[in-house]
Each structure stands twice: as structure tokens, then as C-alpha cells.
Chain A
Amino acid sequence: MAKVKGAIVINNERCKGCEVCVDVCPESVIAMNKNVNTKGYHYAMVTNENCTGCTNCAVVCPDGVITVYRVKVPTEVV
């Protein structure tokens, strides 16, 4: 048996703060930063470690600024 664990990397400077990625995440990983990037946008940020690497957020991001990684984790390690 193996479980998956994921992680996303957001390109903060290219994020336009549209929030389209927030609601499509089944694990409620993403929220908006109260700080802004150099363009003045409240960029998206990771808020917990529940990512499964499902890619939903990256697929809907209009600016394609999310990169997704995923590993299989043997259950005894979890």
C-alpha cells in the first residue's frame, strides 16, 4: 500500500492574485497572502501540508504559475 503526497511551488512574482486556484483545491491548501508582489497582487500561498499533487490548481491557473510535485509514500512511513 502506498499513499501519495504532493507539494506545489507558486511563482509569486507571476501570480496575479485571481484566486481561481483556491476553491478547486480539494485539500484547502491555498490561500491568498496579505503581502503583495512587485506588481501589487496578493499572491497565492501554501497554508498546510495536505497537498496530494492532484494538479487541479495548476491546471486552472490562467497564468500557469503553479508547478506540482508528487511522491508515493509507503504507508508505514506516514
Chain B
Amino acid sequence: MAVITREDIIKPENLVYKRTSLLVDCALSYCPGCGHGTAHRMLMEVIEEMGIQSKTIGVAPVGCSVLAYEFLDIDVQQAAHGRAPALATAIKRLMPEKYVFTYQGDGDLAAIGTAETIHACNRGENFVIIFINNGIYGMTGGQMAPTTLPHMRASTCPYGRDTETMGNPLKITELVATLPGTCYVTRQAVHTPGNVRKTKKALRKAFEYSYAKKGVSLVEIVSNCNSGWKMTPVQSNKWMEENMFPYYPLGDIKVPAAE
């Protein structure tokens, strides 16, 4: 038999990975290398594998992912800035048979939406919060966020975040983990194959726990904003490992008690 050629391999029966059809077949609006795209894809792979496309309602934020409804082939409602958890509360209470999630950046969730985040978590609403923490307001031009690291430069703190006057970065994920209304709180990343696979597992657990009425599941994804950080995508992922992960360590922060 002859050597196996590329044409022999590229056949439908040999397919092992392709972009899920639950992501709309269009170009994503994100900058090259931005983790938002990978986070979207993992989310939609989980929804596809759970077979819940018609049973899921998402709530999109204000931020770079404001257009998430254009990309996620499910029902999505876009919320006012920071109000996604309030909207998700209403949706889930009115339609308890649906899987409900919010998808929010750090400016949306941990600045303008802090009250909505904390109170939804405290009430133990049964939806999932997907929190993309890139330590900056990406969409509006890289302003300082509550999550910006000490000494990290942003357009509104060009000399770096001075913690004397600007406070320390808010670890809102650890904060909500202390509330009895949250059942599953974890911090993940999507810049390496291993991290992407872990994020997918975490998202699946989050949907299962919250659907089982255990309360809010929050999956933080520490992500890059190469445009806002003014780096190449590859540099930004390295910078994230060296600077973001020591402050925002990856792993589970809270898991449901064993039955």
C-alpha cells in the first residue's frame, strides 16, 4: 500500500475536531488572540454536548462581549451594564425549566454590577455566571478596572495602579465564594490546551449544579486583553501567567458538599 497522503486523512469519517455549529458561522468581533472567542467556543461545546440548545437562555453584558448574542446560537438577552445577574434572576424565576447563564467582563461584573453580582449570589439564584477577568475595561479603551493589578498600567492609570489611592484589586470570586448562595466557584483560563479542557469541564459542572437548584455557580476565566495591555497575543498570555495567575490563582475555590 502507498503512503498515506493528506487527502487520505482529510475525510469526514476521520474528523476529530471542528468548531461547533452552535457558534454562528461568522467572524467573531474580538481582537486577534483574545480569550473571549475560546471561552465562547467552550461554552457552546458544553451546551451542545448536554443537548440543551433549546433549553438555554444566556444574558450578554456590556463590554467587548456585548455582541455575544450574534455568535451564540441560543436565545440571548442583552442586559444594561452590570445588570446581567438581575435579568438572569428574572428569567430563571419565570422559566425554572431553562438553563440560564450570564456572561460578563470584570468591568461589568465587578465594577458597575457589583451589587447585582453579590446579591444574586447571596440569594442563591440557580444560574451560572461566566466571568471573564482580563483586569481591564477592554471595550472602551483599556481603562483601569477593580481587577487591575497593582502597578499595572491602564489608560486611566498610565503610571500603574497605585494601591494607596486606588485600592487593591478586588477578588470578587473569593468574595462570593463565602456566601451560602453560591454552590460552585472556580477560576480557570483558556490560553493553553490543558486549561481550555479544564474550563470546559468546569462549565459543564456549573450548568449541572445550578440546574439541580444548588445555587449560583461562578466560573471565572482569567483572560488576556492583548489590545488593552498593549502586547501581542502570545506576549499577553505569557504576561498573564507571570502576573495575573499569582494574584488570581487557578483552581476550585468552592465545590458543593458531597451528598
Closest chain-B Cβ to A30's Cβ sits at a distance in Å of 13
Name B41's closest neighbour in chain A (CB-CB).
A64
Question: In the complex, A5 Cα to B35 Cα: how many Å?
Answer: 29
- Enumerate chain B residues within 8 angstroms of A36, measured Cβ to Cβ: none
Are A64 and B19 within 8 A (Cβ)? yes
Given contacts A7-B6, A55-B193, contact A67 B15 (CB under 8 A): yes
CB within 8 Å of A: which B18-38 residues: 18-20, 23, 27-28, 30-38
- Give the interface residue-count category, chain B: 35 or more
Measured in the bound complex, the distance between the Cα atoms of B41 and A55 in whole Å is: 14
How far, in angstroms, from A23 to B235 measured CA to CA in the complex? 12
- A55, B16: Cβ atoms under 8 Å? yes
| In the complex, chain B residues whose CB is within 8 Å of the CB of A31 | none
B257 at the interface (CB under 8 A from A): no
* A18 vs B219: C-alpha distance when bound (angstroms): 25
Inter-chain contact B23/A69, CB cutoff 8 Å: no
Whether A60 contacts B192 in the complex (CB less than 8 A), given A7-B6, A16-B32, A70-B9, comes out as yes
With A19-B234, A49-B6, A55-B193 as contacts: A63 and B17 at CB distance below 8 Å: no
Q: Does B14 contact A (CB under 8 A)?
A: yes
Instruction: Given A20-B191, A63-B28, check contact A9 B17 (CB 8 Å).
Output: no
Contact of A60 among B11, B20, B196, B232 (CB under 8 A): B196
4 additional contacts (CB under 8 A) given A16-B32, A20-B191, A70-B14: A7-B10, A16-B31, A16-B33, A68-B17
